[in-house]
Amino acid sequence: MKQMLSYLKGYIKESIIAPAFKMLEALFDLFVPLVMASIINIGISNSDTAYILRQCGLLILLGIIGLICSITAQYFASKAAVGYSTNLRRAFFMHIQSLGFSEMDTIGTNTLITRMTSDINQIQNGINLFLRLFLRSPFIVFGALVMAFTISRDGAMIFAVVIPVLSIVVFGIMIFTLPLYKKVQGKLDRILGKTSENLSGVRVIRAFNKEKDEVSQFENTNDEFTRFQQRVGNISGLMNPLTFIIVNIAIIAILNTGAVNVNMGSLKQGDVIALVSYMGQIIIELIKLANLIIQMTRAIASGGRVHSIMETKPAMVFADTSKEHLRENQSEDAVSFDNVSLSYNPSSENSLNNISFSIKEGQTIGIIGGTGSGKTSIINLIPRFYDATNGSVRVLGRPVTDYTKEELRDLVAIVMQRTLLFKGTIRSNLLWGNENATDEELWDALAVAQADDFVRKKKNGLDDPVEQGGRNLSGGQRQRLSIARAIIKNPKILILDDSTSALDYATDARLRKALSNLPDYMTVIIVSQRTSSIQHADQIFVLDDGNLLGSGKHDELLKTSHIYKEIYDSQYKKGGE
């Protein structure tokens, strides 16, 4: 909790001013029933019009001053709440960036999005209401009790009984609903997950005519969320009618006691009206307090969800100090694996089993295998997206654990299976590889990636806009721009993870020829399911079910690896040839 409050730093002044002005507003509100009582007891009883007008002017003045105090408090409360949520959201986003792939896999992107948006908004609303009402409402309640004692001891005793009863109702409902609101947010995660899954898989859903099934599943998830939300709402909704019943019973008791005392002459008519007004103020403030408590329970539940992510520490620790000398290769190997095994989850089976190989600097390497054979798992270990469960991975002769994150990621450039471009321009996306690259270097990289032809045809060339995710580009165009972005980085190790799958064979062949002309110091690793993409590689690794079952050149593997031959035959032999 201390960590969560630390994001109010810089808004302490606003957090003090807001409730202070709300207290002033409450103080002026407490004077209103006394002024009304004096109007009835003195002005109306004595038919003193001048006195009535003076007191009405005082009421207007109290109202204006209260309005100014209220606006001032609202301004500073909003400023503190928005500032807090801004700091928290920034820190939350930065913390997410520090998490490794394994933490992201465990937590899930859907819940992260919910916590960054819905949960932080709940916290912001809770802080806003808290700064405005957490002092005002109790001050009005107990202030009205004190004022009632100054008017009538008998009437004030009713207040002394009603206030504890109301507190029990309000806080009892709060304690009961707090864990339920946490479950509501969890069910919201499921809705977001289902929506995200449908949006990302919309083509497959339509291809298999599964729209109705997906709609049905979403409706079931949404209905479950709705029912639970209604259940929590029904419980919270009991607060208003219960408080109204208790307060109205109290008003009846005040009127009865007041009537007796007025007949006895110990109380005036205006005093009875003042007591009823104070009871009215109490019910209004308790309703506000009830709404505040409901909002605070949701904010606290959301705060706990956000805090749980902030408490999640990345399991992967990089070296702290920069070691520039590590950039120099200490051996002939660009990459080497020594009995490497990988398990994404300690309780699950290994995705890689005792993998050992070495890649010489400047070689072109091909990695092939069926779906789930471990191809992506191998290349994820090179830039250290994951840590090997057993064994060691070395880059340029040094263990990957000896590098700082920046050093290692500068040495390796990777084009993922799922290419991703960011909203901006072609130029801005390419400059991710090297922000200081010249136009000539950008065009050279585009030429190697076989992307210069379609970029030149664009109206604005390098400055042509790119929509989020590259939606305005074809799959092949996105892949070629992603390859160009990696080449501009001029890395020691270039990894293409099945990143030519959307290219036709002619373009793929031209790309392979261009890659062979890259500088000699650059090691190229190509992961593909096409034998045509890797058959000219210096060495090919054949994977199956997380095991390295063969390595060698294309012609050798056709003779020695039945898995490689099966893949080759399935792609090249037709009609029983």
Q: Which two tokens stand for residue 264?
A: 């006895």
Percent of the chain with pLDDT over 70: 97
In a domain, 317, yes or no: no
| Bridge partners (DSSP) listed for residue 491 | none
> What strand order describes the sheet that includes 390-395?
352-360, 333-342, 390-395, 398-399
Calculate ∠ Cα 338-339-345, nearest 5°.
Answer: 120
pLDDT of the residue at 68: 94
pLDDT of the residue at 1: 60
pLDDT-derived band of residue 332, with 50, 70 and 90 as boundaries?
A: confident
Output the average pLDDT for the chain.
86
Decide: helix, strand or coil at residue 458.
Answer: coil
Task: Clarify whether residues 118 and 230 are in a common domain.
Answer: yes
Q: What is the pTM of this model?
A: 0.73
Residue 577, pLDDT above cutoff 60 = no
Task: Clarify whether residues 354 and 269 are in a common domain.
Answer: no
In a domain, 577, yes or no: no
CA 576 – CA 420 distance, rounded (Å): 40
Task: Clarify whether residues 75 and 134 are in a common domain.
Answer: yes
Task: Clarify whether residues 217 and 354 are in a common domain.
Answer: no
Task: Clarify whether residues 252 and 360 are in a common domain.
Answer: no
| Bridge partners (DSSP) listed for residue 393 | 337
pLDDT of the residue at 321: 65
Task: Clarify whether residues 291 and 340 are in a common domain.
Answer: no
pLDDT-derived band of residue 93, with 50, 70 and 90 as boundaries?
A: very high
List the single range of 5-14, 89-98, 263-272 with lowest mean pLDDT. 263-272
pLDDT of the residue at 120: 92
| Best CA proximity match to 357, nearest among 348, 349, 365 | 365
pLDDT-derived band of residue 173, with 50, 70 and 90 as boundaries?
A: confident
* DSSP string covering 187-227: HHHHHHHHHHHHHHTHHHHHHTT-HHHHHHHHHHHHHHHHH
Task: Clarify whether residues 258 and 165 are in a common domain.
Answer: yes
Are 383 and 523 in contact, with CB atoms under 8 Å apart? no
**What mean pLDDT comes out for the span 2-9?**
79
Residue 540, pLDDT above cutoff 90 = yes
Residue 370, pLDDT above cutoff 70 = yes
Q: Is the dihedral of CA 157, 161, 163, 164 positive or negative?
A: positive
| Beta-carbon contacts of residue 151 (< 8 Å; ≥ 6 apart) | 37, 267, 271, 274, 275
**What mean pLDDT comes out for the span 473-484?**
90
Q: Which two tokens stand for residue 301?
A: 């539940």
From 310, 345, 361, give the residue that closes a domain: 310
**What mean pLDDT comes out for the span 187-206?**
83
**What mean pLDDT comes out for the span 483-512?**
88
Residue 485, pLDDT above cutoff 90 = yes
Task: Clarify whether residues 228 and 340 are in a common domain.
Answer: no
Count of CB atoms situated within 10 Å of the CB of 437: 17
Are 497 and 417 in contact, with CB atoms under 8 Å apart? yes
Count of CB atoms situated within 10 Å of the CB of 449: 28
pLDDT-derived band of residue 576, with 50, 70 and 90 as boundaries?
A: very low
In a domain, 319, yes or no: no
pLDDT of the residue at 373: 87
pLDDT digits (tens, 9 = 90+) for 371-382: 888 898 999 999
pLDDT-derived band of residue 330, with 50, 70 and 90 as boundaries?
A: low
pLDDT digits (tens, 9 = 90+) for 30-88: 888 888 888 888 888 888 889 899 989 999 999 899 899 999 999 999 999 999 999 99
pLDDT digits (tens, 9 = 90+) for 280-320: 888 778 778 777 877 887 788 888 889 888 888 887 778 77
- Of the two residues 66 and 1, the one the predictor is more confident about is 66
**What mean pLDDT comes out for the span 516-542?**
88
Widest distance between CA atoms in the chain = 118
pLDDT-derived band of residue 553, with 50, 70 and 90 as boundaries?
A: very high
Are 481 and 473 in contact, with CB atoms under 8 Å apart? yes
Structural domain harbouring 420: 331-572
* DSSP string covering 98-134: HS-HHHHHHH-HHHHHHIIIIIHHHHHHHHHHHHHHT
CA distances (Å), origin 520, targets 63, 176, 334, 568: 82, 68, 12, 29
**556-565 per-residue burial string, b: 16 or more CB within 10 A, e: under 16:** ebbeebebbe
Is residue 565 within a helix (H) or strand (E), and if so which, with residue range? helix 562-572
pLDDT of the residue at 185: 72
**Domain total in the chain:** 2
Q: Which two tokens stand for residue 161?
A: 């009984």
Are 123 and 299 in contact, with CB atoms under 8 Å apart? yes
**What mean pLDDT comes out for the span 222-226?**
89
In a domain, 315, yes or no: no
Match 């605070």 to its residue by tokens: 296
Is residue 357 within a helix (H) or strand (E), and if so which, with residue range? strand 352-360
pLDDT-derived band of residue 575, with 50, 70 and 90 as boundaries?
A: very low
In a domain, 551, yes or no: yes
Q: Which two tokens stand for residue 152?
A: 């009538």
Burial class (CB in 10 A: 0-12, 13-18, 19+), 264: exposed
In a domain, 322, yes or no: no
CATH of the domain at 560: 3.40.50.300
Task: Clarify whether residues 301 and 335 are in a common domain.
Answer: no
In a domain, 292, yes or no: yes
CA 271 – CA 567 distance, rounded (Å): 96
CATH of the domain at 172: 1.20.1560.10
pLDDT-derived band of residue 322, with 50, 70 and 90 as boundaries?
A: low
pLDDT of the residue at 542: 93
- Of the two residues 419 and 69, the one the predictor is more confident about is 69
**What mean pLDDT comes out for the span 439-451?**
92
pLDDT of the residue at 324: 53
pLDDT of the residue at 340: 93
% helix / strand / coil in the chain, to the nearest 5? 65, 10, 25
Count of CB atoms situated within 10 Å of the CB of 227: 11
Question: Which amino acid, 16?
Answer: I
Task: Clarify whether residues 379 and 294 are in a common domain.
Answer: no
Task: Clarify whether residues 221 and 358 are in a common domain.
Answer: no
Task: Clarify whether residues 156 and 255 are in a common domain.
Answer: yes
| Beta-carbon contacts of residue 33 (< 8 Å; ≥ 6 apart) | 147, 273, 274, 275, 277, 278, 281
Torsion of CA 257, 263, 265, 266, to 10 degrees: -10
CA 405 – CA 93 distance, rounded (Å): 18
Burial class (CB in 10 A: 0-12, 13-18, 19+), 6: exposed
In a domain, 316, yes or no: no
Are 557 and 542 in contact, with CB atoms under 8 Å apart? yes
